[in-house]
Amino acid sequence: MKIETKKAKFRQPLYLESGRLLEPWEIIYETYGELNEDKSNVILITHALSGSHHAAGKYSENDKKPGWWDDLIGDGKAVDTKKFFVISTNVIGSCFGSTSPLHPITPGSNQRYGLKFPVITIKDMVKAQKILLDSLGITKLKAVIGGSMGGMQALRFAVEYPNFTENIIALATTYQTRPGVIAVNKIMKDAIIADPEFKNGNYNPIEIKEKGLRGLEIARMIGFLGYLNPKTFDKKFGREYIKTDGMFELFGRFQVESYLEYNGANFPKWFDPLSYIYILKAISLFDISRGYISFSDALSNISDKLHLISFKGDTLFYPEE
């Protein structure tokens, strides 16, 4: 499978839903497979909260893991890269190369955006993707496929750009973020900003990767309570205790606690706290009907084939959503 990583830079303003703008701005993306002559074999992959543009394959044999959706994308797989040209972007606001709070306010400046970065919405993410596709001369997609926040992007694509894609495949997502999820996002955000080492967003990113950020670690552990079904915790860990910890030691740990600690401690090594806060905000703000008279008015815009896939045990986005 042919893999290419590219960055597109735009001098034209990206007008945001908030009324603010980004200028200039850039978006990093990865492609898999070969684009056919009439550019009619394109599939867009959209990622979840902590995902990136690296959706499939390995850059080298030394990589520990392939891209996050490698089981789905590749030669002879469900999204067959022998047949389709797959594009996976990193959303604006994220920390893997697209314009984000980590970028300088003006090119060449030493002053980065930090908390001065504008609030980004799912609609803004999709708008940036559409501008990228237009710049590549792509006038029609075979499909947009995404799960969780990626599913939100897929749905927003269907509403904002009818007839641009043949199929929308949205997995484990919602049309509108419910209050319970917004509440959890609030707790995760507050855990990060309450950490003194967050320094009001003026921290050194390299130091965070090296030393960690306890607030971000806690936020990640909280997030896992929604990412995994309670029955998964039961099946995977039960009530087993860490063998090296004494059961009657105050800070002795169950295996499930050790699992959360491990994932929390590793998270700051590869994901940025500012990006996490901004993307949480985008998820909380998501409402497919915003900008339309009603929910049904928004849905009436959809002309693509819409495929909604939910999971019975999903506690983050319920199947009925």
Position 121 pLDDT exceeds 80: yes
The confidence score (pLDDT) of residue 230 equals 87
pLDDT value of position 318 = 82
- Structure confidence at residue 85 (pLDDT): 98
Looking at residue 5, what DSSP letter applies?
E
In a domain, 318, yes or no: no
Judge whether residue 90 has pLDDT over 90.
Answer: yes
Pair (274, 166) in one structural domain: no
Q: What does pLDDT average to over the chain? A: 95
- 3-class secondary-structure state, position 240: coil
Is residue 320 scored above 90 in pLDDT?
no
Worst-scoring range by mean pLDDT, 26-30, 37-41, 155-159, 313-317?
313-317
- 14 with 100, same domain: the answer is yes
pLDDT at site 75: 95
CATH number of the domain enclosing 209: 1.10.1740.110
Q: How far apart, in whole angstroms, are the C-alpha atoms of residue 308 and residue 237?
A: 31
Residue at 319 is within a domain: no
- Whether residue 102 is predicted with pLDDT greater than 80 in this model: the reply is yes
pLDDT score of 82: 96
pLDDT of residue 107: 83
Exposure letters 88-101 (e unless 16+ CB within 10 A, then b): bbbbbbbbbbbbbb
Asked, for residue 38, whether it belongs to a domain, the answer is: yes
Are residues 21 and 121 both part of a single domain?
yes
% of the chain beyond a pLDDT of 70: 100
Let me know whether 275 and 291 are in one domain: no
Q: What is the mean pLDDT of residues 242-268?
A: 91
Does 154 share its domain with 210? no
Lowest mean pLDDT segment, chosen from 41-50, 105-114, 210-219, 286-295: 105-114
78: left (phi over 0), alpha (psi -120 to 50) or beta: alpha
**Same structural domain, 165 and 252:** no
Assess whether 53 and 196 both reside in one domain. Answer: no
- What number of residues does the chain have? 321
- Confidence check: pLDDT of 321 > 80: no
136 within a domain of the structure (yes/no): yes
Per the structure, the count of domains in the chain is 2
Q: Name the one residue in this structure whose structure tokens are 């067959």.
A: 80
For residue 320, being part of any structural domain is answered with no
pLDDT of residue 18 exceeding 90: yes
Does 111 share its domain with 62?
yes
The rounded distance, in Å, linking the Cα atoms of 130 and 127 is 5
Same domain flag for 276 and 304: no
Report pLDDT for 312. Answer: 86
> pLDDT confidence of 11, banded at 50, 70, 90?
very high
pLDDT for 159 equals 96
pLDDT digits (tens, 9 = 90+) for 141-198: 999 999 999 999 999 999 999 999 999 999 999 999 999 999 999 999 999 999 999 9
Residue 119: which domain range? Answer: 3-176+287-309
Residue 259, pLDDT > 90, answer yes
- The residue whose two tokens read 């320094």 is 199
Residue-level pLDDT at 189: 98
Per-residue pLDDT, 45: 98
pLDDT band at 243; cut points 50, 70, 90: confident
Task: Band the pLDDT of 247: cuts 50, 70, 90.
Answer: confident
In 3D, which of 42, 33, 149, 36 has the Cα closest to residue 90?
A: 149
* Residue at 317 is within a domain: no
7 and 85 assigned to the same domain = yes
Residues 110 and 76 both lie in one domain: yes
We report the CATH number of the domain holding residue 67 as 3.40.50.1820
- If asked whether residues 145 and 246 sit together in one domain, one would say no
